[in-house]
Each structure stands twice: as C-alpha cells, then as structure tokens.
Chain A
Amino acid sequence: MCDTCGCNVTEANRHLLDAGGKFHRTTAGHEAISVLQDLLSENDHIAAHNRSHFDKHDVLAINLMSSPGSGKTALLEATLDALAGRFRVAVIEGDLETENDAERIRQKGITAIQISTGNACHLDAHMVHDALHQLSLDDLDIVFIENVGNLVCPASFDLGQHLNVTLLSVTEGDDKPSKYPVMFRAADLMLLTKTDLLEVLDDFVPAQAENNLRRLASNATVLQLSARTQCGIQKWVEWLQQQQQQHRERTRQGQTRRPAIQVDGARMHAERQTR
C-alpha cells in the first residue's frame, strides 16, 4: 500500500500467521488453536511504521485529543503564531466531515492535510500513514495531529505519534479524568484550556482535575492556558521546545519514544502472565 517507502502491509502481516500450529481436539470435534495477538496488532504495526518515518526525518509527532470543541484548533492557531520562525510545522487534521479546521490552519500559511474520517470516530494509523506521504517530512520539525473530537475512541489507536496531549477545557468539569480514564491515562501532557473562563466557572478546580489524573497512576505534566488571551502559551511553547530537543537527542542515538499509554507495554502483560 505504500510505494513511497517500500513498506508492504501484506508482508508485514505475515506475523499474524505465526501463531499457528498448536492444536488440540475439543469435545465438539473442533480443533482449538491458541493465538495470543493484540486485537489491534495490524494498526500497531502501521503505527510503528509511521513512527519510524517520523524518526528517520527527525520529526516530532504530537497527537492532540479532546472532546469536541475543547479548543484543539484554537490551540494550534495560537501555537503556530508562537512557534513562527522557531520550528517548521505541519498539521494533520482529522474531522468527521468538514475541511474547516484545515482551512483555519492554512490561513496561517501552514501546510494542513485534511483526513475526512467519514463516520469513523477516531483516526487510525492507516489514515495517518496516507496523510504522511503527502508531507515532505524533510522540511519539518514538528507534526501536530488533531484527532477527531471524542474523549473515548481515539485513545485506543496508536498513530505513530511520540506524545499524546489531552486537552480538558474548563467548561467540561474537573471530573473528566475520572469519567474517561482510558483517554486521560493516555496523556503525556494534560492541558487545561480556556482558562480565561475560570473566573465565571468557579466549580472547576484545576488542582482537583490534576488530582483525578494522578489517581489514574499518571505522572503526566499538567499545564493551563487560554488560546483566547494567550495566557500560559509561553509555558506550553517551552514544553514543546524541550520535547523537540529531547526527540532530537533520541533520534541521534537511534531511539524513539512511544506515548504514555504504551510505556509499560500496554495490553501485553497478559501475554507475560500466560506464558
């Protein structure tokens, strides 16, 4: 499927067949076969492939996730202004229907690849792979991926990014990490957005949001900002610079980084237990 980089998913999928061979007859006359494969191993394989594309070109890939309207595109707009002249950036926009978000980015003079997911409620590694081949990674330092606005589904699909940033706008309530643990566990950074509204939303307590995140056994950094007033943008830009520098050092040593959720080999410890 990928002429540009010579990868071949059919070939890559061969590992899916490796599990064959161990049979035993069941009482019903069927034959049972043990497998032990991640249900998302195909997606994960393509994601790993995407990640090596990024690494080869020294590009840091950041996946932005949140519920609809938490301010992902507004954050990108403010970030692009703040990063202008410092990093070469492109954006991959995932959206159910429109090109609106991609258009907003292009108005900043920045390349934006729109992925229309149709009725899919999340991006997957395939879609990002196709978008990747429309970008000239050689000319880039950071690629932002704006995922579909959804606090549930995107967390399950590795795209090949290095970092997950989960946005939580102050209008959503500080209990969201407890209500959507899968999503917030996946965050390398939790970004509290629209903080200019905090003064009218006195029941949103940033420390409580952080506390709820910690109870998910998360060490993720927590930052606050308002894309509207620009307050807090500086700290976020510093974090980005730091991450980009760390990524440079990693790729120089031939290493990579996977987002938070996969640090302890998510889902695969079942394999260790069974063996």
Chain B
Amino acid sequence: MHELAICRQMLKQVTQIAAANDALSVASISVRIGPLSGVESHLLKQAFPFAASGSVAEKAQLLIESMPVRVRCGQCGSETDARTNDLSCANCGDYHTQLLSGDELLLIGLELSRKNQETTHV
C-alpha cells in the first residue's frame, strides 16, 4: 500500500525540520488528512512505526486530524457537507461544485525536544 511510501516521505520532511531546529527527538507529528486524498488514516498509523523506526521520530506520536468533505455549489452558492462518492450540492443537487475540504494531505506541526531548551524558545 502507498501509505508506507507516504509515511517515508513524511519522515524525510520531519527529519529535515528536526535537524534544522537542533531537535534531539520528535515528540509528536500532526497531520491533516481528508478522505479524498486517497490516504487511509488507519493504514498511515499502521505504517508509521515501520517507517519511523531508527529515526529521530521513533518515539513520536502521530496525531491525525480527519477533515470533512465540504463543497461549494457553483449553481446556488451553498456550502454543504458531501460524501466522497457524491460531491453534488446537498441543497440543489447540481454536480458543478468545488471542493472546500476533504482532500488534504498535510503536515501541520511538530513537537520537538531540543537542546538548550531554555535559550531557544521564542
């Protein structure tokens, strides 16, 4: 499954950010995922320990924020909830909608343990 590949890419980014900030270890990794990204949260969680093993994020907690599927209708302008396999407008039924949320695949934050903590916080 591609979740392992995505986990590896994520850890590359995390490792670079940790190194750039003199982190000793990563305590948590926060990501935001929508169902239309094609990434399954539970598979990402399963893949994480394998990908993270031996890295600076080995003990990190993976925090996943699941995003709702929301659309804006090009016909009537309403913003409504939708389903992954039905993105039409819940108000008027038109399918000419724009996705407002639901396909996110984002790294949004890290918690780091750093050297010389007392001097580095901003």
Contacts and interface: CB of A to CB of B under 8 A. Distances in A.
B37 to A, nearest CB: 6
Interface in B25-78: 27-28, 31-32, 34, 36-39, 67, 71
Chain B interface: which size bin? 35 or more
Interface stretch (A136-144, A177-185, A190-198): A177-185
B36 A182 contact: yes
Interface in B96-122: 96-101, 103-114, 117, 120-122
B2 A157 contact: yes
Contacts of B31: 39
B39 A215 contact: no
Interface stretch (A12-20, A73-81, A91-99): A12-20
B105 A40 contact: yes
B87 A38 contact: no
A264 B99 contact: yes
B67 A33 contact: no
Interface string A145-165: 000000011011100000000
Interface string B12-33: 1100110011000001100110
Contacts of A20: 17, 20-21
Given A24-B121, A217-B87, A273-B101, A31 B38 contact: no
Contact of A30 (B88, B96, B105, B112): B112
A183 B121 CA distance: 44
Contacts, number: 161
Contacts of A1: none
Nearest to A23: B122
B90 interface: no
A149 to B, nearest CB: 14
A24 B21 CA distance: 13
Contacts of B17: 16-17, 19-20, 33, 35
B91 interface: no
B12 A215 contact: no
B105 A215 contact: no
B46 to A, nearest CB: 15
A183 B113 CA distance: 39
A12 B97 CA distance: 35
A241 interface: no
A207 interface: no
A217 B99 contact: yes
A153 B122 CA distance: 41
With a 10 A CB-CB cut-off, give which of B67, B85, B88 has the most chain A CB atoms.
B85
A16 B11 CA distance: 12
A153 to B, nearest CB: 4
A157 B3 CA distance: 12
18 contacts: A32-B112, A33-B110, A37-B13, A39-B10, A121-B1, A121-B2, A152-B1, A156-B6, A182-B36, A182-B37, A214-B88, A215-B88, A216-B86, A269-B100, A269-B104, A270-B34, A270-B106, A274-B108
Interface of B: 1-2, 5-6, 9-10, 12-13, 16-17, 20-21, 27-28, 31-32, 34, 36-39, 67, 71, 84-88, 95-101, 103-114, 117, 120-122
What 4 A-B pairs have minimum CB-CB distances, sorted nearest first?
A153-B2, A182-B38, A217-B87, A30-B111
Given A32-B110, A267-B37, 16 more contacts: A20-B17, A28-B27, A29-B113, A30-B112, A31-B111, A31-B121, A32-B111, A35-B110, A36-B108, A40-B6, A43-B9, A157-B2, A181-B85, A218-B95, A267-B104, A269-B99
Interface of A: 13, 16-17, 19-26, 28-43, 120-122, 124, 152-153, 155-157, 177-179, 181-183, 185, 212, 214-219, 264, 266-267, 269-271, 273-274
